[in-house]
Amino acid sequence: MTKAPQPKIRDSIDQDQFLTILSREEALERFGTALFPRHLPDEQCKLADALGRALAQDVTASVDAPPFDRSNVDGFAVRSADLAFATEGTPVRLMLNDEVIACGVAPTRPVLWGTATAIATGGPLPRGADSVVMIEHTQRSGVREIDVRRATSPGQFVSYAGSDIARGETLLRAGTIIGSREIGMLSACGIAEIPVVRRPRVAVISTGDELVPPGEPLRPAAIYDTNGAVVTAAIDENGGNAVFLGAVPDNEEQLEAAMRKALEETDMLVFSGGTSKGAGDVSHSIIAKLGQPGIIAHGVSLKPGKPLCLAVCDGKALVILPGFPTSAMFTFHDTVVPVLRRMAGLPPRSDAKVTAKVPVRIASELGRTEFVMRRADWGMTIAPVAYAADLGFIPFAEEHYDFTLVTTRKQRPAVQAFLDALASNEARAALRRLQASVTVLNVCCRETPSREGQIDSGNCHNYRRRHWNEEDQCAQCAQGSRGREEGRHYGSC
């Protein structure tokens, strides 16, 4: 009987290993050095589409703004010399010209000695007038006469031509990010289009035989493609122009064809998956065929995100993110976003940073940059308060992540109510009785049932209960930190 051919499985010893593991800082420096400096292509952009774009060249004003001398108030255009002696007790009478200057109306009659012309806010100042008197300081004396009770000085309530922006003045410098204020300035100078840095086109490809596009039914052992959608959105919100090319199976020929086409048509290629050491991960092995210098970093001292692969192929960036969505997004925002924004002419992101206290022990590895999931909830908010008041705190649900505590959460009404309750001796005694009754059922001895009703054989099932005394020993079985490190206790027991 002939044996059926067995599928060829690469032994783990033959797997493509990571190249030299680099620190996060060194990987970013190498990636940036391989890509920059570089010319940032520009394009003409209409003002309506320029919001958030980076200006590619200096822009100068071709006209004055305002383009003429104009009135700042509703009133009358006058000669200041005619009103030199006007007061409340001795008003000066002026003859009105037979025209009213409104916005958009060019004056036709000059203001001569002893005359005035009615003018609205924004109206062009007529010849002969050098100031405007507010209508509140005048009074009608006849059909065509007014009495003025205030003196004026030359230039009073007048904006001269070019007083906001002068012709030939540099209006905006290259690199300016266009916002609503800049659009208003450009519009005031009659500029309809401006040169901006072209948004880099970024191809996005997901890899994996197990991926199914959202909206289609899931087949057995398949998952929906999360990375494609989230990476595409993240590229758009950081100044790029994402082009999602779909999911490609783990086939080396298909992957190489997709990568070559993407690099020909776009400025950057972002892959997700295919950079680890699994038998199906082949993306990184193709990079050497696509251009020089090739792989810059493959394996970065990050958690999550160690399999990150950074490459430059003939001047175009190629990034292969880890396939796990959380790792992919951490590494994308940490390593790809700075490069992407620089290619788009945008400044680095100014993300808000909050100083917080971590109420649990976080184990970390020396020399590795680690990102820790953060979630603040009532347990992590109230627990430190309870411990400070010499009370234990027993949450109703297990915590499966390490969290940070934002100090401002202590100001929330529920936390304040908890603090108020601690001021009552009756409430404190009741809480201690509750704590003692539950702790009896959750002791931390190796031969004692845990809260789950199982025998604790080697690992403390009650490791989130924090019953360590000041000497860093378990209050129940007196095992110290050494015992915890050997596996008899772990976590934040």
Q: CATH number of the domain that 140 lies in?
A: 2.170.190.11
Listed range (83-87, 288-292, 411-415) with the worst mean pLDDT: 411-415
The pLDDT, as a whole number, for residue 487 is 41
- Asked if residue 307 and residue 205 are part of one domain, the reply reads yes
Reported as a pLDDT band with limits 50, 70 and 90, residue 429 is: confident
| Mean of the per-residue pLDDT values of the chain | 79
pLDDT tier at 125, thresholds 50, 70, 90: very high
CA 44 to chain centroid: 26
Q: For the ranges 111-120, 212-221, 267-276, which has the lowest average pLDDT? A: 267-276
User: Which helix or strand (DSSP H or E) is residue 307 part of?
Assistant: none
Residues 328 and 264 in one domain: yes
What whole-number distance in Å separates Cα of residue 136 and Cα of residue 274?
A: 77
Q: Same domain, yes or no, for 240 and 302? A: yes
The pair phi, psi for residue 309, each rounded to 5°, is: -125, 125
Task: Confirm whether 121 is domain-assigned.
Answer: yes
Is there a single domain that holds both residue 331 and residue 385?
no
pLDDT of residue 489: 45
Residue 335, judged by CB atoms within 10 A of its CB (0-12, 13-18, 19+), counts as buried
410 and 481 share one domain? yes
Cβ contact 221:211 at 8 Å: no
Cis amide prior to 37 (ω within 30 degrees)? yes
Residue 373 lies in a domain: no
CA distance 250 to 206: 10
Predicted local confidence at residue 474, as pLDDT: 53
Residue 79 sits in the same domain as residue 148: yes
**Residue 270 lies inside a defined structural domain of this protein:** yes
**For residue 5, with 0-12 CB atoms within 10 Å meaning exposed, 13-18 middle and 19 or more buried, which class applies?**
exposed
> Considering Cα of 119, then 120, then 124, then 125, what sign does the dihedral take?
positive
- 40 and 301 Cβ atoms separated by less than 8 Å: no
Average confidence (pLDDT) over 44-58: 95
* Residue whose pair of structure tokens reads 């160690």 in the numeric block: 306
Q: What is the pLDDT of residues 169-224, one digit of tens each?
A: 999 999 999 999 999 999 999 999 999 999 999 999 998 888 888 999 999 988 99
Nearest-angstrom CA–CA distance, 452 and 19:
44
Residue 365 lies in a domain: no
| Residue 206 and residue 186 share a domain | no
Angle of CA points 9, 15, 21, to nearest 5° = 160
pLDDT at 367 over 80: no
**pLDDT surpassing 90 at residue 414:** no
Asked whether residue 364 is assigned to any structural domain, the reply reads: no
16-20, 59-63, 147-151, 159-163: the lowest-pLDDT one: 16-20
Name the pLDDT band for 410 (thresholds 50, 70, 90): low
Residue that finishes a domain, picked among 325, 343, 361: 343
Lowest mean pLDDT, pick from 42-56, 282-296, 300-314: 282-296
Give the residue with greater pLDDT, 357 vs 34: 34
3 state DSSP class of 244: strand
Kindly give the pairing relationship between strand 75-78 and strand 115-119.
antiparallel
Start-to-end C-alpha separation, the chain: 60
Domain that holds residue 440: 378-485
In a domain, 247, yes or no: yes
Cβ partners under 8 Å of residue 79, min gap 6: 111, 113, 128, 129, 130, 131
Q: How far apart, in whole angstroms, are the C-alpha atoms of residue 280 and residue 301? A: 23
**Per-residue confidence (pLDDT) for residue 8, from 0 to 100:** 40
Tokens, residue 435: 């704590």
Whole-number Å distance between alpha carbons of 46 and 23 = 43
- Cis before 41? omega within 30: no
Comparing CA positions, the residue from 454, 455, 444 lying closest to residue 483 is 444
Do 174 and 60 form a contact (C-beta atoms < 8 A)?
no
Claim to verify: residue 174 and residue 290 sit in the same structural domain: no
My answer on whether 337 and 233 are in the same domain is: yes
- Number of structural domains the chain divides into: 4
| pTM of the predicted protein model | 0.66
Residues 336 and 397 placed together within one structural domain of the fold: no
- For residue 408, how far is the Cα from the chain centroid? 22
Residue 57 maps to which CATH number?
Answer: 3.90.105.10
Tokens of 205: 């490809």
The rounded distance, in Å, linking the Cα atoms of 384 and 378 is: 11
What pLDDT is stored for residue 398 in this prediction?
40
In the numeric block, the tokens 């929906």 are attached to 224
Between strands 211-212 and 223-224, the pairing is parallel
Strand partners, 42: 197
Task: Note whether 53 and 133 are same-domain residues.
Answer: no
φ/ψ (deg, to 5) at 67: -80, -5
Residue 174 lies in a domain: yes
